[in-house]
Chains A and B, each alone.
Chain A
Amino acid sequence: MRQYITRRLLEMIPVLIGISILIFVIFQLAPGDAVSAIVDPKTSAETKAKLREQLHLNEPILVQYKYWVMDILKGQWGESFYYKQPVSRVINSFIWNSFYLSLASFLLSAILSIPIGVLSATKQYSKFDYIFTIFALIGISMPSFFFGLLLIKWFAVDLKLFPVSGMTNPGSTATGFALFKEVMHHMALPLIVLTLGSLAGLMRYTRSSMLEVIRQDYIRTARAKGLREKVVIYKHALRNALIPVVTIFGMSLPGLFSGAIITEQIFNWPGIGPIELQAVNTRDYPLLMGINMLLALLTLLGNLIADVTYALVDPRIRLK
């Protein structure tokens, strides 16, 4: 197993190089260059030319790539044009806010989707199943910008149960548990929006996986042994039904860090999502490339984690 993981990690190197080339080339193809993005349009042509020189923008593309890669390897992801700060610092100051929100939503949807999926499958075509099927349809089709605004209107503006936006109260100095409580209070509404979206899919996935498993011969064997229905379902069936679901969990790792652009924007959550959007609008290429590289790395790690967990839960899979 250790050997397998080491090999997979080594294999990631060429893949990452390939991804870095792709990202670099794509951003080179994008219209406008960094100079037009960072300077005032009124700046003289001379100053612009000087700046181009400074940023190596006149060099051939391969040389520019070399500069970029060398910097990345040194841990310098460049400086954000917009924030005038190192990219790593910009990412670091926003990404964790996204992570907390996404992680909470991920855990909540996992905890809820599995039992609901199992019940929907074991009571297929029952009222319970229909109610949650409709719920899932709503969850999948409801646009988050609309649902988010709806929640703000109902629970923040009308009922005043939750704050309208942000992560903490303006000017808050709370620390420790008080801060945690304050953040949770702010998180509630965006959490509901994000969870509704992912819960629906996971639930349906668990349901169909479970439906397939409970028709298997070994479930009949388990019943023929005299096991209680609960043991049959939650031990014999669920263990098998979760194998594909676990893979999905592993692959959702990059999603935990990439931020939810729309939801975070609507609730003014200081996450990485709106920063990404802003970086696109302001042609903040170093920041965009940094975020993309990070997500590429996380995607590869997520796949590795999915494969490893797959082998852990299914004895038929042996990693070599």
Chain B
Amino acid sequence: MDELLIIKNLKTYFYTDEGVVKAVDDVSLRINRGQTLCIVGESGCGKSITAMSILRLIPDPPGKIEGGEIIFEGKDLLKLSDDEVREIRGNKISMIFQEPMTSLNPVFTIGNQIIEAIMLHQKLDKKEATKKSVEALKLVGIPRAEEIINAYPHELSGGMRQRAMIAMAMVCNPTLLIADEPTTALDVTIQAQILDLMRKLKEETKTSIMLITHDLGVVAEMAEYVTVMYAGKVVEEADVIELFKNPKHPYTLGLLESKPQIHIDKEKLYSIPGQVPNPFNLPKGCYFFPRCERAMEICKEVMPTLKEVGNGHKVACHLYGGDNNE
């Protein structure tokens, strides 16, 4: 397999007045060229922080990447100088964010903001960059691109803004696109359009996508490989079909259970009992133990490690892997 990005034992901590939050705690994952990886989890599970760590966009203070490696095309991003990372940002790895309403600068035109990225990374002059921006806007399905280029963000709808964000992210032909809940703030029909667009662009450009979401519907539609995170740790990862067919971790099972299904008539939607643990006061053993319906004695004391259970399926749970528990 041709690996594009390998994250090894990434640790991103936040130092707050109340204590240290281990937002990303020993996370490892990988993305192959041309692959779409989905990272799934509840709010605050560290999925966005993982993504931001890749581009070293963690605000410091209070955040700090405390350890691990992020190998992109053979180079450890964490060891590069600030200038070298800047050359990768928006060029080889670009990112789109959850809130299209606030992710574009309100005082500059759409064109201005896209041209800026092109001129920065491709050393084109303004005229060529403008032409390229119009093409990029057309590619993401924005009508009247020649006019929209002179529009300010507030003059566009949420869906259009997210398209513009995608145009901005794709304009330098990145090899990896990180999309942090790109459809969460959009209404359902627009969501589908944006996902279609991303899939189309991926097929055309062979860009790998790291898609962060809490929506399993989006996962089913987009992912080839899935990583499930809980409280800063990876609890399960597998091929998308394997994961949906054969989910192992009680948390993943819970997530799947709490997804509404059209053809099943249920009085009330299932929800995982309890709440996401307090990051300042994590349980000693498995972080999911207090909410787990199948918790055992060992779960209270020992943190399970991620182990292969066949079919490339890995899970961090004491229910699987029997006697090789440490």
- Footprint of B on A, CB under 8 Å? 216-218, 220-228, 236, 239-240, 243, 313-316
Whether A240 lies near B117 (C-beta < 8 A) is no
List B contacts of A315 (CB < 8 A): 106-107, 152, 154
Shortest CB-to-CB span from B31 to chain A, Å, is: 18
Whether B102 lies near A225 (C-beta < 8 A) is no
Whether A226 lies near B105 (C-beta < 8 A) is no
List A contacts of B97 (CB < 8 A): 217, 220-221, 224
CA distance A223 to B55 in the complex (A): 9
Is B91 at the interface (CB under 8 A from chain A)? yes
Contact pick for B103, options A221, A226, A243, CB 8 Å = A221
Is B203 at the interface (CB under 8 A from chain A)? no
Is B87 at the interface (CB under 8 A from chain A)? yes
* Besides A226-B89, A236-B108, 20 new A-B residue pairs in contact (Cβ under 8 A), listed by A number: A217-B97, A218-B103, A218-B106, A220-B97, A220-B103, A221-B104, A221-B168, A222-B105, A225-B117, A225-B120, A225-B168, A226-B117, A226-B120, A227-B86, A228-B86, A239-B105, A240-B107, A243-B107, A315-B106, A316-B152
- Footprint of A on B, CB under 8 Å? 55, 57, 86-91, 94-95, 97, 99, 102-108, 116-117, 120-121, 152, 154, 165, 168
CA distance A223 to B106 in the complex (A): 16
Shortest CB-to-CB span from A143 to chain B, Å, is: 36
Contact pick for B104, options A218, A228, A239, A313, CB 8 Å = A218
Whether B86 lies near A218 (C-beta < 8 A) is no
CA distance A105 to B261 in the complex (A): 68
CA distance A239 to B121 in the complex (A): 23
List A contacts of B165 (CB < 8 A): 221
Nearest 7 CB-CB pairings of A with B: A226-B89, A226-B90, A225-B90, A217-B102, A218-B105, A315-B152, A224-B95
Sample (7) of A-B pairs whose CB atoms are under 8 Å apart: A223-B57, A224-B90, A226-B120, A228-B86, A240-B105, A315-B107, A316-B152
List A contacts of B90 (CB < 8 A): 224-227
Whether A236 lies near B105 (C-beta < 8 A) is yes
List A contacts of B102 (CB < 8 A): 216-218
List B contacts of A217 (CB < 8 A): 97, 99, 102-103
List A contacts of B120 (CB < 8 A): 225-227
Whether A221 lies near B105 (C-beta < 8 A) is yes
CA distance A225 to B174 in the complex (A): 11
